[in-house]
Structure 1
Amino acid sequence: MTDTGAADPQTAIDAETAAGARERDPRIEARNAGDVGEGIPFIGAGPGDPGLLTVTGRELVEDADLVVHAGSLVNSDLLEEYCADAETVSSIGKDLEELVPLMRDAYEAGRDVVRLHSGDPAIYGAAVEQMDALEHEGVPTYIVPGVTSSFAAAATLRTQLTLNGVANHVAFTRPQGKTLVPEDDHIAEFVEMGDVTTCVYLGTHAVAETMDRLLDAGRDPDTPVTVVYHASWPDEDVIEGTIGTIGERVEAAGYRASALVVIGDAARKEGYERSYLYGDWANRGAGESGENDTANGEADD
């Protein structure tokens, strides 16, 4: 990284980030999430299926000279289909001291550079720290959103993460580990609320331990849990169970990574109430005029 006089480059990056947090970045008004900008795009590759890469993301990777990608978390079929003419580099095992100069030097040499994350960079993507480091080096960056695995899992299960009368809220979380200390683990609290669909990322290796902690916290062992391995990939697999049984079933299947854990009734879509969007039956209690939120073009769901 460029030496700005600070003993530790990270100190300078943190100072720049803190200064920027005190006032709105002018680029927020200059572009929206659908615009292609100047610099290196951080693109969500989607959950796996190449068809679930956004149109903008596909166009950018097809035109790229260098694609730095998230290794095996990005389907090799996607790389072969859209990045055949680009140099591809896996980020697995590389730290920022290696990745940032790699992308910076390629960009400054006039090459089109793309940083390809799995799913959506906004969900456990560790994108911002890379973007801040590149901005510190004078390289502009921006985000192109993608489809996160929770949405692919819901599509596979032919359900919604929110359902009237079942789940009004969705929690994206992860299990305890190096990043999440026990006092910051709120999975048991989300499950206790009852009307929350809890989506656990990065926790395939710890399903059994997570369920044991839920049981120790007094959660109902019959609470439905569905694990979707490699959502949208050719080898996708769905394992159904409960808080009391799913740990043993995932261990029997041998999966240790790349699965999304969905806790709650929405995965089974049982007992949901119909919305007020469709049909005369939904107008009950609306009076003779028939006016309601739907008539005003507003959705209640």
Structure 2
Amino acid sequence: MVYFVGAGPGDPDLITVKGKRKVDEADVIIYAGSLVNPQVMADRKKECQVFNSAYMTLEEVLDVMKKAEEEGKTTVRLHTGDPCLYGAIQEQMDALDALGISYEVCPGVSSFCGAAAALQLEYTLPSIAQSVVITRMAGRTPVPERESIRSFAQHQTTMVLFLSAGLLGQLSLELQAGGYPPDTPAVIVYKATWEEEKKVICTVDSLEEAAAREGIKKTALIIVGRILEKKNYERSKLYDPSFDTEYRKSKDGQKEMRKEH
């Protein structure tokens, strides 16, 4: 059996209870060494074999999984954050299907959630933004034209950018070309929830300068949007005393037809 486990954003306490149990019980662990905090594996079995996938190809990863399966061992494929985001797990699962090897996915806390927690931030403030665009700049891995930064920027909602810390000059231009004003608030979060975490507040037009000043070139998320100002938003209707819900009647007798669940 193979378990794809989300290791969380960095803080070893932010792996799920189930994920931690699978790691501690594993006979073989293949972890993304360039991104996963090794402290997550601190309580693994002494006889557990550990492989760093940063130095491996997909074929080499699959060879380890296949050998473990033949020996009746349990394998944990440990990915950073949540494996469903930029985890390249589909190609692994397809290969395991072809080999007849069973697998299961254990979700994790994504770094975009860890970054929001570090900033004490809500991505979806009423009247400011009710959507979050999670995307990346095109690099060696291309991005479909319909998903370009410029296209998404037209929505003027909250944007979280992965894998783009080395392309901030171009990112800044694309965000502005799509419609974000130059003074739109932005923040670069380096290694969210790790001990060495950095939060660099800036604007869309100063992203590259801010990262250069702090020496940030990789392992960082970029967040863009007016939600970073934390002001001029509407109060949530769900907790408004004049708003009816399925569980609570309005306090002042005024009734709303709409219900929140």
> Is this a same-fold pair by TM over 0.5?
yes
Structure 1 residue 228 and structure 2 residue 189: aligned?
Answer: yes
Deviation of 1:218 (Å): 4.9
For the residue of structure 2 that corresponds to 1:228, the secondary structure is: strand
Deviation of 1:137 (Å): 1.1
Deviation of 1:271 (Å): 1.7
**CA distance 1:40–1:242, change in 2 (3 Å):** same
TM-score by length of 1: 0.79
Structure 1 residue 183 and structure 2 residue 149: aligned?
Answer: no
User: Match of 1:112?
Assistant: 74
Give the letter for the 2:206 counterpart: T
- In structure 2, list runs of 5 or more residues that go unmatched: 245-249
**CA distance 1:83–1:91, change in 2 (3 Å):** farther
Structure 1 residue 204 and structure 2 residue 162: aligned?
Answer: no
Moved over 6 A (4+): none
Contact 1:66–1:113 (CA<8 Å) still a contact in 2?
yes
User: Match of 2:130?
Assistant: 168
User: Match of 1:275?
Assistant: 236
Deviation of 1:184 (Å): 4.4
User: Match of 2:119?
Assistant: 157
**CA distance 1:153–1:264, change in 2 (3 Å):** same
Deviation track 1:67-100 (CA, whole Å, cap 9, x = no partner) reads: 1000120012212245665221111131122110
Deviation of 1:281 (Å): 5.2
For the residue of structure 2 that corresponds to 1:161, the secondary structure is: coil
User: Match of 1:100?
Assistant: 62
**CA distance 1:107–1:291, change in 2 (3 Å):** farther
Deviation track 1:30-59 (CA, whole Å, cap 9, x = no partner) reads: xxxxxxxxx211111110111110111011
**CA distance 1:84–1:48, change in 2 (3 Å):** farther
Structure 1 residue 71 and structure 2 residue 3: aligned?
Answer: no
Structure 1 residue 43 and structure 2 residue 5: aligned?
Answer: yes
User: Match of 2:247?
Assistant: none
Contact 2:161–2:223 (CA<8 Å) still a contact in 1?
yes
Deviation track 1:265-301 (CA, whole Å, cap 9, x = no partner) reads: 1233222111012242557xx797444479x6x34xx
Contact 1:45–1:57 (CA<8 Å) still a contact in 2?
yes
Counterpart-to-counterpart distance in 2, 1:220 and 1:84:
55
Q: Percent same amino acid at aligned positions?
A: 37
Structure 1 residue 135 and structure 2 residue 71: aligned?
Answer: no
Give the letter for the 1:67 counterpart: I
Contact 2:243–2:254 (CA<8 Å) still a contact in 1?
no
Counterpart-to-counterpart distance in 2, 1:86 and 1:167:
46
Count of residue correspondences: 256
Give the letter for the 2:196 counterpart: D
